[in-house]
Structure 1
Amino acid sequence: MSLETGTEPAGASTAVNVRVRMTGSGEPEAAIVTDDGPRPTPGRGKAVVRVEAAGVSFAEVQMLQNLHPFPPRFPFVPGYDLVGRVVETGPDVTGVSVGDRVAAMPRHGAWQRYVETPAKTLAAVPEHLDAALAVALVTNGVTAYQMLHRSTSLRRGATVLVHGASGGVGMVLTQLAVHQGLRVIGTASPAKHDAVSALGAEPLDYRTPDLPRAVRELAPGGVQAVFDHIGGRGLDAGWAMLADKGTLVSFDSSVAGYEGGQWFRPHVPALRRTGARWIARRLGLTRGRRQSMYYVKPGEHFNTDLAALYRLVDEGVLTPPIAGRHPLAGAPAAVRALLEGSTVGKHVLIP
């Protein structure tokens, strides 16, 4: 076992660990609480990371509403992703050392001062990079990067539609697509159209009654790709917008209108449509169009693509906006902001 020196007080292995817990479904002000607990000790193959910044995402909103497809049991510590520094490693850890600055995507557990996580899933983070900006690219950035570069193959000058272009994934995806020389049509509420335009995209109200027709007016031949986080019937609209040989990528599903506990039901329509269109494509019935589902996961590609995103930040290509920096006790306010949809960019907790 390796323990840090010089950066933590004596007795650090038993130091207090401030954490945020989600105690059940309901309103964030009542169901999200902050308390203390012991600092974790790393098990075999694991490391303890002192968190510098943890992201707040719609995954936590879905968990709060008991509508996430892979829900941990209440009570639990939320937090999909984090950036921090390794302070202790357990037995059989290789490839990471005490003092390394790293990113992780544990999917829950990041909203605390210290996190125990598998060492093999840690990715390097440049020393000079702001922690909030760095964590904004862990889940959202890699999702955007991989959908654009691994789920599709688009040539310069192609037109794409990005749903939720003012959101955490959408803003990064839009910046990446514009940098690649793509024309981007981005849906957002009218109040956020200026932010979408500033990214180099053409804004469109997502509540437009006949959205496929509005898109076809901007791109008569259809778009080469649609990136959809709505799911359900929204995937039918996205399919109608595609040009021949175009790609529809589904990367989430709206939980609006579903009751708590129906944790997987919002995602069933996307699964059914993806399967049906795969069969139709094999039968030559889709004019070359295809639909796929995307889910971000750690691994070799994740680490490689996150490093590429950090280089783009250094080059001035990419600047993920930070909507708010909150202490751990401010987690309910951050989740409330996401529920209300009133802000642009990523909310981040700073332990």
Structure 2
Amino acid sequence: MKNLALWYRRFGEPGSVLHAEASAPAARRPEDLRVRMLYSPVNASDLIPITGAYRHRTPLPAVAGYEGVGIVVEAPASFAQQLGKRVLPLRGQGTWQRYVDCPAAYAIPVPEDINSLLAARAYINPLAAQMMLDLSPPGGKTVLLTAAGSDCAILLGQWASHAGAKAVYGIHRSPVHAERLAARGIIPIAQQDTAAVNAAAARAEVVYDATGGALAEAILSAMPEQGEFVCYGLLSGQTFRQQRALPRVRWFHIRNYLDALSPGAWQAEFHRLWPKLRASGCSDAALYPLTEWQRALSAYHEAGRTGKPVLAMGD
């Protein structure tokens, strides 16, 4: 059995510091599953740690990737029923490799009717969206999304509507996103349309922001004081300053909530998640062989991208 993994041994630009390395897998710990990976997506949350942004909690060397789906090929006796079944091998090793070991209690079984390409993307964005909506409920409120063409924002918008939001507005940078947002019940607003952005911000009672920077500052300056601004990303690469005491700003980082979840609570989050994913519209997947990972990273950074780059792990 040979493994192929995308390692980084120093921090820097992902295209420069990632390297594909082939080796035999290390010995499996008795409490772990071994999973032959099928697919793993490319997310901002996969790339940002490689740059060193979180170096204080990113020990090197490391294999990149945080989510994906695969088939169990080895298991402890108490999890023998998982052999041959699809799981999400989460909270273990990096997932940008052909074989991943993960704690058996935290591996998420995939329902039979869930497509593997959807299952591969069922963790980072969907779980973050679900948790944010739990923490800052949108029912009866006007909602505003930034980076609305992103996978997380599209789920936030759909699920906010299902939870009873009065209206959901989505700020997007590329015009290619407008039609797909409208098709999912999200009112599209071009980021360049300053008047429309300010008007939506003035009505927004809950904002889910993934950009930070000048856009976040503009929204905060126009929002009602009784509103709530939830920041879950800084895709602009810039932080922001709040010029007044209100509205309330909440920073959401999914990692801050994971350690508090027992294995049972962790599994329960996904039991709630699968029905939502079944009923949601998501972006299409664009497949790239693991050996062509550089192309996948280039595709991720393309302006106006509507598909999600996904690494296909097969030989």
In the other structure, the counterpart of 1:328 is 290
Take 1:231 and 1:84, find their aligned partners in 2: how far apart are those partners? 34
Task: Find 2:251's aligned residue among 280, 293, 298.
Answer: 293
Task: Find 1:131's aligned residue among 91, 100, 116.
Answer: 116
The 5-angstrom pairing of residues 202-281 of structure 1 reads 202-208=187-193, 210=194, 213-218=195-200, 222-254=203-235, 256=237
Number of matched pairs: 305
Q: What whole-Å deviation, never above 9, does each CA across 1:65-122 have from its counterpart, x for those lacking one? A: 333466635553201112222222358x669743343213338610111111222322
Q: Given that residues 43 and 90 in structure 1 are in contact (C-alpha distance below 8 angstroms), is that contact kept between their aligned partners in structure 2?
A: no
Look up the equivalent residue of 1:346 and give its one-letter code.
K
Task: Find 1:308's aligned residue among 272, 283, 297.
Answer: 272
Question: Would the alpha carbon gap of residues 335 and 188 (structure 1) be closer, same or farther in structure 2, given more than 3 Å must change?
Answer: same
Identical pairs, percent: 24
Task: Find 1:43's aligned residue among 19, 23, 29.
Answer: 29
In the other structure, the counterpart of 2:137 is 153
Q: Which has the higher contact order (CA 8 A, sep 6+)?
A: 1
Q: Given that residues 286 and 309 in structure 2 are in contact (C-alpha distance below 8 angstroms), is that contact kept between their aligned partners in structure 1?
A: yes
CA RMSD of aligned residues (A): 3.0
Take 1:252 and 1:305, find their aligned partners in 2: how far apart are those partners? 22
Report SS of the residue matched to 1:190: coil
Question: Would the alpha carbon gap of residues 343 and 308 (structure 1) be closer, same or farther in structure 2, given more than 3 Å must change?
Answer: same
In the other structure, the counterpart of 1:18 is 4
Of 226-235 and 134-143, deviating more is 226-235
Q: Given that residues 40 and 114 in structure 1 are in contact (C-alpha distance below 8 angstroms), is that contact kept between their aligned partners in structure 2?
A: no
Report SS of the residue matched to 1:324: strand
In the other structure, the counterpart of 2:73 is 87
CA drift at 1:57: 0.5
Q: Given that residues 15 and 297 in structure 2 are in contact (C-alpha distance below 8 angstroms), is that contact kept between their aligned partners in structure 1?
A: no
Question: Would the alpha carbon gap of residues 161 and 80 (structure 1) be closer, same or farther in structure 2, given more than 3 Å must change?
Answer: same
Is 1:184 aligned to residue 164 of structure 2?
Answer: no
Larger gyration radius, structure 1 or structure 2: 1
Of 116-125 and 163-172, deviating more is 116-125
CA drift at 1:252: 1.5
Q: Given that residues 19 and 112 in structure 1 are in contact (C-alpha distance below 8 angstroms), is that contact kept between their aligned partners in structure 2?
A: yes
Question: Would the alpha carbon gap of residues 41 and 130 (structure 1) be closer, same or farther in structure 2, given more than 3 Å must change?
Answer: farther
In the other structure, the counterpart of 2:154 is 171
Question: Would the alpha carbon gap of residues 96 and 85 (structure 1) be closer, same or farther in structure 2, given more than 3 Å must change?
Answer: same
Look up the equivalent residue of 2:305 and give its one-letter code.
T
Report SS of the residue matched to 2:63: coil
In the other structure, the counterpart of 1:338 is 300
Look up the equivalent residue of 1:334 and give its one-letter code.
A
Q: Given that residues 81 and 110 in structure 1 are in contact (C-alpha distance below 8 angstroms), is that contact kept between their aligned partners in structure 2?
A: yes
Look up the equivalent residue of 2:196 and give its one-letter code.
A
Report SS of the residue matched to 2:62: coil
In the other structure, the counterpart of 2:48 is 62
Q: Given that residues 32 and 331 in structure 1 are in contact (C-alpha distance below 8 angstroms), is that contact kept between their aligned partners in structure 2?
A: no
When normalised by structure 2's length, the TM-score is 0.83
Look up the equivalent residue of 1:140 and give its one-letter code.
N
Of 337-346 and 26-35, deviating more is 26-35
In the other structure, the counterpart of 2:309 is 347
Q: Given that residues 11 and 17 in structure 2 are in contact (C-alpha distance below 8 angstroms), is that contact kept between their aligned partners in structure 1?
A: yes
Q: Given that residues 69 and 87 in structure 2 are in contact (C-alpha distance below 8 angstroms), is that contact kept between their aligned partners in structure 1?
A: yes
Question: Would the alpha carbon gap of residues 245 and 345 (structure 1) be closer, same or farther in structure 2, given more than 3 Å must change?
Answer: farther
When normalised by structure 1's length, the TM-score is 0.75
In the other structure, the counterpart of 1:263 is none
